Structure 1
Amino acid sequence: MKEQLRIGCHLSSSAGYLAMGEEAVSIGADTFAFFTRNPRGGKAKELNHKDIEDFLAFAKKHRIAKLVAHAPYTLNPCAAKDTLRTFARETMADDLKRLETTPGNFYNFHPGSHVGQGVQTGIELCAALLNFVLKPSQHTTVLIETMSGKGTEIGRTFQEIAAILERVELQDHVGVCLDTCHIWDGGYDIVAHLDDVIAEFDDIIGLDRLKAIHLNDSMNPRSSHKDRHARIGEGVIGLDALTAVINHPVLCRLPFILETPNDNDGYAKEISLLRKRWNPQD
């Protein structure tokens, strides 16, 4: 089968794995993301092992690429309150245990906000959480997402991401998910200087750490630190720049996840548009 762009979007997990797989295929996707539980927090639904078994067979038949599960937004690894850090530890540990039923995929999370404790404290607390939840036997790779830098977020620079990673004990269990809107809003010029941004990422973090990309346009000018996603080609990053991202020789084989403000019809159009523009020069 001819190689193609690996691309998908966020889907609702409420109907189960098989339904998500069928929905992804129906809109032309061959990967997808989903929240492990309500994105605002709460208890995860009971696992349906028959549904998971059916999905794994479906995924193999339809060549669905690695999935990118997403932690709830309320998870803050570097919160100031002990209770909130405990919630983050318990939630992530439970999510990783559940994801062992679909082994070999990714689990993406926001590194959190230090809420006035300082960046260094935030980095230390985030790394401590990872060292608590990661297990040598697990089959899920945990991805730290690049952030836009709003408020007291950590992970707004490649240096901050690298500082977290270097403190993790189980190095082969962690990686990075790069969000195009976030790094643009964070100050990285992927429109005029994509090669330079990728080279900087490689120098500071290492391209071997980059496992997935959230492909989003942005409503904001560069360095705004606001994090407001736009549909592909309708924001200030623009279609040409995002086309360059998917075709870049060191990025083009990664799974791309759309987090644009769309319904499924909109996602199907974006996926079709980007597939037509996928022509990596490597």
Structure 2
Amino acid sequence: MDQSFWSDPEVIRLSEKFVCARLSTYEDAKEGELLKKLYRGRNGELENTVFVMLAPDGKTRLSRSGRTPQMAFGGSVGWESTILALELHAIAQKYPGKENPSGLPPLPVSKDLRRSLNVAACDRQLLVLADRVSESTMVELRQLAWEAPFRGRLGWSSTDNKEEVQAIGLPVEGPAIYICKPGEFGLKATSLKKLSANASTKEIKAALSVALQSARPAQKNYRRHVSRGQRLNKSWETEIKVSDPHIPPRRRE
């Protein structure tokens, strides 16, 4: 999905009135099947990006389906985010939701650590990894993940499997919280800060703030990035076959 839509401040503000589900396309067979029911390309197959607005029942469509918000709502070049913001505002007025919803949202993680790291790399974000930590620490991280200074600015993951940690290049030691910088291709990570698994909320908060202030998102040119990955023999194995005709066969690896 084009990040320009979701980096617009007004779109970010209005999106907080919605449950935003980011499904996995080719990284989860069940989610891929759901997306295929919502939108198929001209060849009848699942394409790499899908966008649709659904009512609270999770079934009724409030917009057309397409690859992007622009396909659903239209908008001339330069005005796409404005149109999306207006549509979000109109829908939010019809479905205002609860004033004070109870409960704490879950930690916004991907299916596993491998995928969480790759998503963080694609989004050019740091990754916070909870490695074999206690439930009480997980509650602290859930609270921090949804606080204004950190909400939407970090990738998150948790694991109880030390082999997952080793696979992305981090040291296999005792339980800990890592603030990681994803590698260029989202296959390995570098630890910027390691915190005790029993670190206080104040300590975690301070470490996250410092990391965000000092980190600079890497600039990526898609074509150069893909070309360099091919030269270095870097590849990514998806859970289901990539069927998007817009992705050349050589780039589906």
Q: For the superposition of Structure 1 and Structure 2, which TM-score range results when normalised by the shorter chain? A: under 0.3
Structure possessing the higher radius of gyration over alpha carbons: 2
Tell me the TM-score normalised to structure 1 length: 0.24
